[in-house]
Structure 1
Amino acid sequence: MELSRLFVSDTCFFSPPIRYSPVPALSTFFAVNLRINRRRRRSLCSASNNDTLLAGGGPVVAGDREKHEEDLKSWMHKHGLPPCKVVLKDKPCHNDPHKPIHYVAASQDLQVGDVAFSVPNSLVVTLERVLGNETVAELLTTNKLSELACLALYLMYEKKQGKKSFWYPYIRELDRQRGRGQLSVESPLLWSKSELDYLLGSPVKDEVIERVEAIRKEYNELDTVWFMAGSLFQQYPYDIPTEAFSFEIFKQAFAAIQSCVVHLQKVSLARRFALVPLGPPLLSYQSNCKAMLTAVDGAVELAVDRPYKAGDPIVVWCGPQPNSKLLINYGFVDENNSNDRLIVEAALNTEDPQYQDKRMVAQRNGKSSVQVFRVYSGKEREALLDMLPYLRLGYLSDPSEMQSVISSQGPVCPVSPCMERAVLDQLGDYFKTRLAGYPTTLAEDESMLADGNLNPKKRVATQFVMLEKKILHACLHATTDFINQLPDHSISPCPAPYAPLLK
């Protein structure tokens, strides 16, 4: 990079960064923990079985009857699944006392473009199927309730039906997975307070807490479904939702649905979120995979994007999600995730006498008074180059310079070496502060991960915070490089009474 781009007469703004809209899509693993309502007769509830796994609870051993029960794939074939090219296999889970999780594997060699399976719509759970009315579905999901909450409530009541439910084999399979991701870990939404401390120093810990509170708000609105779509629930002789299920039960169901749901494209709103047997949680995520479940005429199918040998696990893609989303939604992280990123929020100082002028200039150049910058893994230097013009604008204090920026034909503002040093020092201090907020160093993280007996949740959390730290270290290194390119290191940073705020 040329030194002239760091100081002297530089542009205040470059092109705005690409904004992705992550799609909630493929993931893994489910378990709805339904507890019998003590106020109801025991004869009404049939969900508590010896072979039911309780999400977040202790290990439960499968009863002998499981050996004689119909497996998921056989059930699907009986109800319309055409011949397919996959089988279900077991994946042992280290340091986990529960049953192994299942996964979908190729039953024969596959080539790029081959359809691995095609699940008929009669075996797909969507709001259109649940509510039987697209208008009601749209009304519910625009009236304080999400599709995920409605789908979770439906399967919670279905589970109370036990073997009487058409979906019993599918629910039993989801129970077996216990909401575990491909690393055998549940979403942090189901972690205890002490387990959340594994994420100390990361903003994701607060995100998890905020997400749980959002789920609580949805729980408080569940009875809306009962009263607006009462005909749906006539088959269930149970209490209204908030009386039939505690918040903890609903949270487990919601987290499980969130980790399993598929976001279908080019379908009606009432069908866009779907639960697809043989899809998640039985398919694993891979960041360099582009195969996704697709809605076709009367079915949802998966065409593979790579060759497979018989026995290979089938992988899919769940959109350009950073590791923070993968962890919260699905309980795993991807060390090779090209979409992994951190957020840096910068804000113009509202106490600055020139705040309104600076706000106008920022908006003119595609930025806002509170601007979110996405720092992608491996592209930290580019992210800093996007931040610097915005920060320089915040450092301007001379009214004549500000007027020059306002009246200029292009987005040009003067940048002195002392201002550039002040901006870079602020950035460097910001990254150092964020790194100091973690209780462990990168070296300590690597040492912990070398322990084969490390608790699975702590292992995933450690992998996650280690990847965050690597991005922050790369940002700090790039900032130091920029400082070293300044021509005169004896120059003191210029004072900045109204410097931008970083968080």
Structure 2
Amino acid sequence: MAGGLAAPLEASRLRQFAASTRQRPSRAVHRPVAATPPASATAARPSQLLTWLQESGAPPQKARVQTVKRNGQDVDITVASQPLVPGEVALRIPERLIVTLDQVFQDNTLAELVTTGKLSELACLTLYLAYEKKRGKESCWYDFIKELDRMQGRGSQGAKSPLLWGEGQAAELLAGSPVVGEIEARLAGIEKEYEELDAVWFLAGSLFNRQPFAPPTEQFTLPVFRQAFTAVQSCVVHLQGVELGKRFALVPLGPPLLTYSSTSKAMLKFDPASHEVQLAADREYDEGEPLTAWCGPQPNSRLLINYGIVDESNPYDKLPLSITIPSNDPLYRLKRDKLAAEGLSTQQTFQLSAATPLPEQLLPYLRVVHATREADVAAATFGEGAAPVAPENELTALNQLVTVLRLRLSRYRTSIEEDEAIIADPAFGPRPTVAARLLKAEKRILQGSLAATLALPGAQEAAAHAPIVTAIQMV
């Protein structure tokens, strides 16, 4: 399975950049495809995947594969092949044509490796399909793998996961966003799993009893494994209400061909009566309209990393605000005990969102962590009606909150207006466009949190005050 590269550049350079084998069932879908730009120059084409499904005995589908132009990129998507009404089943994929882990778990040894955290489900599926690919046409998954290779993990907005972007591109295109750190952590995790592959090879021989090939790290380089891992990650469906071995599933005509939406009410579900994974329409569809499925309650950062998409109307989008009390704080133990009584800790992360720009416990928490007197810690209350404990404490808490929100906004290299211009111009291409969508959404959340803070009593005075130096860490 091949991977892909992308390129991130700062706002002033963006325009230049644009120029220059078996059988398995599974569980319900959680997938996203955010605001998908209008499709242009749509075209139907024969689908090798549909042909393979038909020849493999799958029932007729009320869907087809169609090529659309998005952000200057040809993208294949699953669309309705006829008008659909709510509740009508559009996709019916038999269990035997779905790749799941219980095809891989041929002995308890490998299952134990996964359940004890030795190797993730995604790494197991990646390794399994990588070796199946080497079997070529001898593999019963040959046609499916060939289609996965062709798509290369490209999402419905035309961009690949930033895990496959070129070196330094994510840091440049997504500058200012905490997602850069998440990408780095995910890449480090993939590398760690790569280093464990040979252990699986030697300890779980039944997985590879049909594979006359060398151990994984001799067969696949880290870049090849990372590309294959990301392609599998972009396709996997999380099915609900099934046993563990069927929880992660690769479903033909599912993602990334299937459009993910954070607001769709349709889900890919395993039907135990028919032993099929099915997608029922949640609304009326016209022929040729892209089919959508719910991606689950995932923030845009996860949608981008997993599927290369961003949903600007995502109601589950959020940004973390992390606060840490240093252990050398003179009131550390008193604050720790006070916070513990509220189910909070001395290292706490709050989630900012459009719906909740200021989480209910955030300001009371800041009053406790910025307290310099025992009486102020004792006076702090949580919940409805929580009030300031002292004027100087309230000034510090609000000043610190305004300061960190302004600082985070200042780290972005583009304004929302510049992001919107990139999104509106197809010349920029998929990666700068999807990056601009993410940055715009994050700035909206931070601006909303800042506005909500400035509307609090005493906040204007605190905002006019010079940043107050404290030992509390806020990022």
Q: Report the TM-score range of the alignment, normalised by the length of the smaller protein.
A: 0.7 to 0.9
Alignment pair present for 1:389 and 2:389: no
* Residue of structure 1 in register with 2:436 after alignment: 462
Provide, for residues 471-497 of structure 1, a one-character-per-residue CA deviation record: whole Å limited to 9, x for no partner.
1112122222215677xx599979988
One-letter code aligned to 1:333: V
* Residue of structure 2 in register with 1:415 after alignment: 389
Alignment pair present for 1:25 and 2:2: no
* Residue of structure 2 in register with 1:43 after alignment: none
Provide, for residues 304-342 of structure 1, a one-character-per-residue CA deviation record: whole Å limited to 9, x for no partner.
211112221110011000110011111110111111110
SS in 2 for 1:415: coil
One-letter code aligned to 2:449: C
Match of residue 137, structure 1, among 93, 107, 111? 111
* Residue of structure 2 in register with 1:225 after alignment: 200
* Residue of structure 2 in register with 1:12 after alignment: none
One-letter code aligned to 1:25: H
Alignment pair present for 1:500 and 2:472: yes
Alignment pair present for 1:289 and 2:294: no
**Structure 1: how far apart are the matches of 2:279 and 2:463?**
61
8 Å Cα contact 1:419/1:493 also seen in 2:
no
Go from structure 1 to structure 2 and tell me whether the alpha carbon gap of 1:411 and 1:495 turns closer, same or farther (over 3 Å shift): farther
Provide, for residues 190-245 of structure 1, a one-character-per-residue CA deviation record: whole Å limited to 9, x for no partner.
11124211111111112111111110000000112212221231322211100000
8 Å Cα contact 1:422/1:493 also seen in 2:
no
1:356-395 to structure 2, matched below 5 A, reads 356-380=333-357, 382-383=358-359, 385-395=360-370
Go from structure 1 to structure 2 and tell me whether the alpha carbon gap of 1:27 and 1:478 turns closer, same or farther (over 3 Å shift): closer
Following superposition, the deviation at residue 500 of structure 1 comes to 3.4
Go from structure 1 to structure 2 and tell me whether the alpha carbon gap of 1:367 and 1:24 turns closer, same or farther (over 3 Å shift): farther
Q: TM-score normalised to the size of structure 2?
A: 0.84
SS in 2 for 1:87: strand
One-letter code aligned to 2:473: L
1:105-254 to structure 2, matched below 5 A, reads 105-133=79-107, 136-196=110-170, 197-254=172-229
**Structure 2: how far apart are the matches of 1:324 and 1:405?**
34
One-letter code aligned to 2:99: V
8 Å Cα contact 2:368/2:376 also seen in 1:
no
SS in 1 for 2:310: coil
* Residue of structure 1 in register with 2:300 after alignment: 323
* Residue of structure 1 in register with 2:374 after alignment: 399
* Residue of structure 1 in register with 2:287 after alignment: 310
8 Å Cα contact 1:181/1:331 also seen in 2:
yes
Number of residue pairs aligned between Structure 1 and Structure 2 = 433
Does 248-257 or 288-297 show the bigger shift? 288-297
* Residue of structure 1 in register with 2:5 after alignment: none
* Residue of structure 2 in register with 1:16 after alignment: none
One-letter code aligned to 2:264: C
**Structure 2: how far apart are the matches of 1:490 and 1:246?**
54
**Structure 2: how far apart are the matches of 1:498 and 1:205?**
27
SS in 1 for 2:343: coil
One-letter code aligned to 2:404: Y
Match of residue 412, structure 2, among 432, 438, 441? 438
Go from structure 1 to structure 2 and tell me whether the alpha carbon gap of 1:132 and 1:416 turns closer, same or farther (over 3 Å shift): same
Q: Which runs of 5+ in 2 are unaligned?
A: 1-27, 34-44
* Residue of structure 2 in register with 1:344 after alignment: 321
Q: Which runs of 5+ in 1 are unaligned?
A: 1-22, 29-66
Following superposition, the deviation at residue 346 of structure 1 comes to 1.3
One-letter code aligned to 1:285: Y
Go from structure 1 to structure 2 and tell me whether the alpha carbon gap of 1:103 and 1:499 turns closer, same or farther (over 3 Å shift): same
Go from structure 1 to structure 2 and tell me whether the alpha carbon gap of 1:353 and 1:84 turns closer, same or farther (over 3 Å shift): same
Provide, for residues 356-383 of structure 1, a one-character-per-residue CA deviation record: whole Å limited to 9, x for no partner.
0111110101111111100112421x42
* Residue of structure 1 in register with 2:312 after alignment: 335
SS in 2 for 1:432: helix
Go from structure 1 to structure 2 and tell me whether the alpha carbon gap of 1:490 and 1:469 turns closer, same or farther (over 3 Å shift): closer
Go from structure 1 to structure 2 and tell me whether the alpha carbon gap of 1:450 and 1:498 turns closer, same or farther (over 3 Å shift): closer
**Structure 1: how far apart are the matches of 2:457 and 2:155?**
43
**Structure 2: how far apart are the matches of 1:195 and 1:82?**
43
One-letter code aligned to 1:79: S
**Structure 2: how far apart are the matches of 1:288 and 1:111?**
18
8 Å Cα contact 2:267/2:294 also seen in 1:
yes
**Structure 1: how far apart are the matches of 2:140 and 2:464?**
73
Following superposition, the deviation at residue 91 of structure 1 comes to 2.1
One-letter code aligned to 1:269: L
Go from structure 1 to structure 2 and tell me whether the alpha carbon gap of 1:104 and 1:419 turns closer, same or farther (over 3 Å shift): same
Does 145-154 or 188-197 show the bigger shift? 188-197
SS in 1 for 2:369: helix
SS in 2 for 1:92: strand
SS in 2 for 1:310: coil
Go from structure 1 to structure 2 and tell me whether the alpha carbon gap of 1:290 and 1:216 turns closer, same or farther (over 3 Å shift): same
Go from structure 1 to structure 2 and tell me whether the alpha carbon gap of 1:81 and 1:165 turns closer, same or farther (over 3 Å shift): same
8 Å Cα contact 1:421/1:492 also seen in 2:
no
**Structure 2: how far apart are the matches of 1:237 and 1:449?**
48
**Structure 1: how far apart are the matches of 2:119 and 2:128?**
13
8 Å Cα contact 1:292/1:316 also seen in 2:
yes
- Structure showing greater radius of gyration is 1
* Residue of structure 1 in register with 2:61 after alignment: 84
Alignment pair present for 1:260 and 2:235: yes
Does 412-421 or 440-449 show the bigger shift? 412-421
One-letter code aligned to 1:213: A
One-letter code aligned to 2:54: H
8 Å Cα contact 1:186/1:330 also seen in 2:
yes
* Residue of structure 2 in register with 1:453 after alignment: 427
8 Å Cα contact 1:109/1:308 also seen in 2:
yes
Q: Matched residues, percent identical?
A: 43
8 Å Cα contact 1:138/1:269 also seen in 2:
no
Backbone CA RMSD of aligned residues: 2.8
